[in-house]
Chain A
Amino acid sequence: MDLLTLITFLPLATGLLLVATSRLLPEQAWRWVGMAGMVLTFLLSLQLWAGFEPAQGGFQFVHHVPWIPAYGIHWFVGIDGMSLLLVVLTTFLMPLVMLASWNDIKRSTRSFVFFNLFLQTGMLGAFVSLNLFQFYVFWEVMLIPMYFIIGIWGGPRRVYAAVKFFLFTMAGSLPMLVAMLSLYLLHAEQFGGALEFDLIAAPGGGTAGLLDTIVPIAETATIPWWQTQAWLFAAFALAFGVKVPMVPLHTWLPDAHVEAPTAGSVVLAGVLLKMGTYGFVRFALPLFPVAAETYAPVMFTLAVIGVLFGSLVAMVQSDIKKLVAYSSVAHLGFVMIGIFALNEEGLQGSILQMVNHGLSTGALFLLVGMIYERRHTREIADFGGIAKPMPVFAAMFGIVAMSSIGLPALNGFVGEFLILVGAFLVSPWVAVAATFGVVLSAVYLLWMVRRVFFGPCDNPENMGLLDLGLREKAVVLALLIPIIWIGVYPNPFLTRLEASVGDLLHHMERTASAARSEAQPSEVHQTALRPGTAPSAIPRRHDPASGKRWAASARSEAQPSEVHQLGGIPR
């Protein structure tokens, strides 16, 4: 079994093993075995980090096995720099989450351990998938454990939050399923009828991957509206936008975050939200480059609104957890700005910022969970001056808050800086608005820190608070290491991203120009027609034969074997 497949399924296998032997093991043993599975997964993922060749580009550790070959569905895994970072982030966060909720989860511990392991496999599977169908399976499957984690161990409105979370994500991803299908059929038309869900050509030859599809820009007599870039991009953007979440699709997030148990919030903020931004970079951009460029202003606008709106709403929250939840909306808005800058700086910064947000916001949620465990309240007003009884906690919270704000020498700075540079190159106004968001994040976080930790400690309940225990210190310290590392020396991370981002931009350029030149003749054709009749209506069932003609006229340059290096996006 290859390394990526092993890493993906090790958590779920641990979980199933536990279920199979459930009669034999006491509840406490489940935690230990689950933890062991997660730590082992993390150690294995370090091997990925070590074995990854940053300079090489393309996908590495690829593994390709037929699954439903007649439909072009394969078990196809591989990672580039971006997925490497996110995989390691996931495997790193999960054991910490487990450790942090060691005493937090008191009932149905067995199910809790199982659902966390199940969730981890779901997330890892989505990050390593190089087959769109396979990605979709993991993308949907991971909803189930998260739904149960929120719904069983959450706060008072947990059921509402869990169902809302599930339905919002499904509402986004079902249209994506239809878009996937029409893309898949378009691909088949362009490449001689072979059905294929693989993103790139399989190692050892094979047909071209989905990424080689030249998605038409405008509808024509043979291309119905639902196979044009704009519509397909819209469907994909809806699915990913819900997950990011982009304003105005974000309303599930505060509910889910506030109601979820600490473990759920950390995973949700740390990894699940990254699914959305990852989806944009991995699928939406390379597949629909022209639409991405065309609609970048729209995405910018939504992202800037997200940054400002998220920050302003965070500022007025009286609940610490809700404040952190809204700060996520703002931070992810930042990431979206970087992605749609569509240049090297912006994309690198965005991907790094995904990791940063996972670490910083994950840590913030953990810290909020620790104080909630002690006081059973998260109201800012209930606290004040708790730096005195809990100095270590206060110090750690301060550092994490600073990293979230983007103070230099901590991780947030590097990502935000790169994103701002990228945005500035495209539109100074967006950069200015985003900078304003950084200022706001300082306002809401520092204000909250002041109200919670400083001032007089006059509430008697707060005076006797115990500082962090060894377990809690270990969890937060483990998170502080990468937070400071990325801040001081981000090079190892950035070099791993460089080639992947370069590949992506190059690929976008190539397919965009191919799609544009494809659209050229038909536009001329239409202008010639314009004086007389209106363009004919779209046929309800489009003629496959005419579709094939279109494919045949597609330039021979798109032949897979010529352009394709093994397992990589063609450079």
Chain B
Amino acid sequence: MIDAPVIDLSAIAPIGSVAIGAVVVLLVEVFLTRSRRLLGREMSSSYVGATLVVLSTIALAIAAYTAMAGFASGISVGFLPDLPGARLDRFSSFAIALIALASLLSCWLSLKYLAEVEINHGEFYALLLLSTAGMMLLVAATDFLVLFLGLELMSIPIYVLAGFDRRKLRSNESALKYFLVGSFASGLLLYGIALVYGVTGALDYAAVRAALAPGNPLALIGMGLLVVGFAFKVSAVPFHQWTPDVYEGAPAAVTAYMSVTVKLAAFAALMRVAVGAFGDALASLQDVFWMLALLTILVGNVMATIQTNVKRLLAYSSVAHAGYLLLGFATGTIEAYTAVLFYLLGYAFMNLGAFAVVISLSTNGQDCEELEDLAGLARNRPGLAALLTLFAISLAGIPGTVGFAAKFFLFKAAVDAGLIGLTIVAVFGSLVSVYYYLRLPVLMYMREPGAAKLRPEAATLELVVLGICAFVVVLLGLFPSEGPSWFSGIQALEWARASASVLF
């Protein structure tokens, strides 16, 4: 008789609900599309989509709620008590809750969008949930094998999602490119894990940390390869070349989803690896992060200035943001990691908000692609134009928005640690970014409307997402550490600090 392993349900509730949700969505989709035979009447595809979104919402809401509850109670339990390869503590519950919320918003954005661009297949939601489950595993991992498992579970569905618009050449190209580059990155990561394992004889982060001897060249190479693997995922220069093509080719809803959640998950996992597994040996990698941050900030911002496509613009801007986040890694203090987590939180909402505007303008099987399409938007759609301006201003880091608050804390931590040169580079990067983000309001407010065919009305769910994102961007921008009277429970910065301090 084999004893079933004792599983702490509270630990696996978030990831479990999403994984189960994925399976349920897949089954229900099959059931509903075959409904003519089973129910005796045809289900319209929009009805199917709505049902699937409701199911996904339930799964993700449970995940977000249980993660938040776990965060509030401050639990720290392994997924499997006998085999602790992943752990739900304040750090992973913070990241999991954020991933769940971002996935939820992406899910809501997809409902109308999929119908508009005529790719309304139910697998979309199942893939999205599966990938989300992978991300959750990734950030909770405390063991290199589980890390790899999570990484692949996250990536493979996204390869499929990137090519979801299978009739479009560019979507196919996007999927293939992402798949090839992603597999390459996974290979490097795996090789890094192997080397680290070879040196230390351990896969568990804490054991690796204890066994890592500073100065061991093999260990150094292993850690370097691991960092490179992650650098691909977060699109740090010079490992970023796939980003603009993939972001441009993938359907906008997928781009919105992956630009936010993959970055979140990969950065959170990297943080856990950097602090938890490398520990003091990380000091030798600090210069690598320094260089990566420098290149990423410069290249991302400069390349963004010459883009004419909204998705490519946002792709390069996301590269630039990865650069600022790497500045936090180059700093490497608890203060810096707190700022990185806060930045990720703010970035999720401002970037999703910006994509939400693009998505809510897409129609007739076409994405709102070219910057020119936005010309004169303020004339006909003043609300959307104002919101996109808000998100652009926040991405540029103008005070009063979460983008500024996040940069402020990050720069403060970096200056505190004496990284003045890199901070000045980051500051000038932000200056360049102001130029290209300002092009959005210039087009929308200071130009006459063009001939672009845009969707005349946004769907309710899209408006809800826009509202949530705008609210968070302004609220956290003005009150990052504690909300005003009615929202005094929202203490984003304190949450970030609490979750970063778990690692140390």
* A residues in contact (CB < 8 Å) with B: 67-71, 136-138, 140-141, 143-144, 147-148, 151-152, 158-159, 162-163, 166-167, 170-171, 174-175, 177-178, 181-182, 184-185, 224, 226, 539-542
Contact = CB atoms under 8 A, between A and B. Distances in A.
27 contacts: A67-B479, A68-B480, A68-B481, A68-B493, A70-B481, A71-B412, A137-B400, A140-B404, A144-B393, A147-B438, A148-B441, A148-B445, A151-B445, A152-B445, A158-B446, A162-B442, A163-B442, A166-B434, A167-B431, A171-B431, A174-B431, A175-B427, A177-B411, A181-B423, A224-B420, A540-B419, A542-B418
A143 B399 CA distance: 11
Contacts of A184: 412
SS class, residues of chain B in contact with chain A: helix
A289 B195 CA distance: 57
A530 to B, nearest CB: 26
SS class, residues of chain A in contact with chain B: helix
A161 B428 CA distance: 21
Contacts of B417: 541
Query: A-B pairs with the 9 shortest C-beta distances?
Result: A541-B418, A137-B399, A174-B427, A181-B415, A140-B399, A151-B446, A68-B481, A226-B420, A159-B446
A542 B417 CA distance: 7
A328 B330 CA distance: 45
Nearest to B433: A170
Nearest to B418: A541
Contacts of A159: 442, 446
A177 B397 CA distance: 12
A136 B446 contact: no
B486 to A, nearest CB: 16
Contact of A224 (B393, B418, B441): B418
Contacts of B420: 178, 182, 224, 226
Given A175-B424, A541-B417, A144 B398 contact: yes
Given A71-B412, A140-B398, A175-B427, 8 more contacts: A68-B480, A140-B404, A141-B400, A170-B434, A178-B415, A178-B427, A181-B416, A541-B417
A151 B447 CA distance: 10
Contact of B416 (A69, A137, A162, A185): A185
Given A68-B480, A140-B399, A181 B424 contact: no
Nearest to B399: A137
Contacts of B110: none
A163 B419 CA distance: 30
B443 to A, nearest CB: 9
A422 B428 CA distance: 38
B438 A166 contact: yes
Nearest to B333: A541
Contacts of A138: 399
B446 A170 contact: no
Given A166-B434, A170-B434, A141 B398 contact: yes
Interface in B428-453: 428, 430-431, 434-435, 438, 441-442, 445-446
Contacts of A181: 411-412, 415-416, 423
A166 B415 CA distance: 25
A23 to B, nearest CB: 12
A242 to B, nearest CB: 12
A67 B399 CA distance: 14
A138 B415 CA distance: 23
B448 to A, nearest CB: 12
Contacts of B434: 166-167, 170
Contacts of B480: 68
A383 to B, nearest CB: 30
Contacts of B441: 147-148, 151
Taking each of B400, B411, B418, which has the highest tally of chain A beta carbons within 10 Å of its own beta carbon? Answer: B418
A143 B393 CA distance: 11
A171 B400 CA distance: 18
Interface residues of B, number: 33
Nearest to A67: B479
A541 B283 CA distance: 12
Nearest to B331: A541
A69 B494 CA distance: 12
Taking each of B417, B430, B442, which has the highest tally of chain A beta carbons within 10 Å of its own beta carbon? Answer: B442
A148 B480 CA distance: 27
A171 B441 CA distance: 19
Contact of B435 (A158, A163, A177): A163
Nearest to A153: B446
B415 A182 contact: yes
B227 to A, nearest CB: 20
Contacts of A542: 418
Taking each of A170, A171, A224, which has the highest tally of chain B beta carbons within 10 Å of its own beta carbon? Answer: A170
A422 B101 CA distance: 62
B400 A539 contact: no
A540 B290 CA distance: 12
A141 B446 contact: no
A161 to B, nearest CB: 11
Given A70-B481, A158-B446, A178 B411 contact: yes
Nearest to A182: B415
B415 A185 contact: yes
A560 B478 CA distance: 29
B476 to A, nearest CB: 11
B465 to A, nearest CB: 21
A539 B411 contact: no
A210 to B, nearest CB: 15
A184 B418 CA distance: 13
Contact of B442 (A151, A167, A182): A151
B438 A177 contact: no
A71 B412 CA distance: 10
A37 B398 CA distance: 26
A158 B416 CA distance: 41
Interface string B445-465: 110000000000000000000
Nearest to A184: B412
A175 B418 CA distance: 15
Given A70-B481, A177-B411, A539 B418 contact: yes
A152 B424 contact: no
Nearest to B477: A137
A141 B427 CA distance: 17
A275 B1 CA distance: 80
Contacts of B408: 177
A167 B400 CA distance: 18
Taking each of A67, A140, A151, A181, which has the highest tally of chain B beta carbons within 10 Å of its own beta carbon? Answer: A181
B481 A174 contact: no
A563 to B, nearest CB: 27
A540 B331 CA distance: 11
Interface string B369-395: 000000000000000000000000100
B427 A177 contact: yes
Interface string B464-504: 00000000000000011110000000000100000000000
Given A163-B442, A185-B415, A170 B399 contact: no
A141 B399 contact: yes
Nearest to B414: A181
Given A158-B446, A174-B428, A175-B427, A163 B438 contact: yes
A137 B400 CA distance: 7
A174 B430 contact: yes
A110 to B, nearest CB: 9
Contacts of B415: 178, 181-182, 185
A159 B404 CA distance: 24
Nearest to A163: B438
B481 A136 contact: no
